[in-house]
Amino acid sequence: MKRILLAILAISIGLYPLYYLVTLDKVGLLQMKSDALWAATAYKAGFYTHVLFGGIAMLLGWAQFMPGWRRRFPHRHRQMGKGYVLAAIPASLAGVYLSFYAEGGLVGKTGFFLLGWIFLITTLMAYSAAKKQDFVAHERWMYYSYAACFAAVTLRLWMPILVPLFGSFTPAYQIVAWLCWVPNMLFAWWKTRDL
């Protein structure tokens, strides 16, 4: 049941960037951005890089945690893993760039800035461990990497709870800038503590 829920959430949010491609306009949180910022080529490039490659990483990552699938199709696991890394790198770097424009002041910016770097570093560590054939370390780092990637899901789960709870967007977004990934990291630590 947990794996089915993981798949449903990952696929739903992984496909969400298609909405931005269809509209090609300011929707969702983008409506809070100024027209001048949205018109800036660098910002648009960073945004689309982040959501599209992040969506690909989300779609490729969840299946990698299915042990039976990994054992039956090791070649596909490796190929999808390489695709995940190739998607996670630009998604995370674009996330770091976008963090400087995040809502919620310094608190929001710092939360997303750290998330972007953690996503990048844990992904590179997972890839490095796999290249060295240290598959225990690889699995551990991949839990952390996908926990960072999965922040896209947990952010969307928390926001509808936090906004009514705090009565406005800004304090909710300052909290979710941390709440979307810190508990995920704690879960990854808990899940891998016996590896």
Distance CA 103, CA 173 (A): 7
> Quick check: 190 and 147 in contact, CB under 8 A?
no
Place of tokens 């590896």: 195
Q: Which two tokens stand for residue 73?
A: 């199709």
Query: pTM surpassing 0.85?
Result: yes
Q: For residue 135, what are the contacts with CB-CB under 8 A and spacing of at least 6?
A: 129
Q: Is residue 9 in a domain?
A: yes
Total structural domains in the chain? 1
Q: Which two tokens stand for residue 52?
A: 């599209």
Average pLDDT per consecutive 10 residues, the chain (195 residues; last block may be shorter)? 85 88 76 88 95 96 85 90 97 98 96 98 98 96 98 96 95 97 97 89
Which residues constitute the domain of residue 179? 2-21+34-192
Q: Is residue 28 in a domain?
A: no
pLDDT for res 58: 96
Q: Is residue 27 in a domain?
A: no
Question: How many angstroms separate the Cα of 130 from the Cα of each of 36, 74, 136?
Answer: 43, 13, 9
Q: Is residue 26 in a domain?
A: no
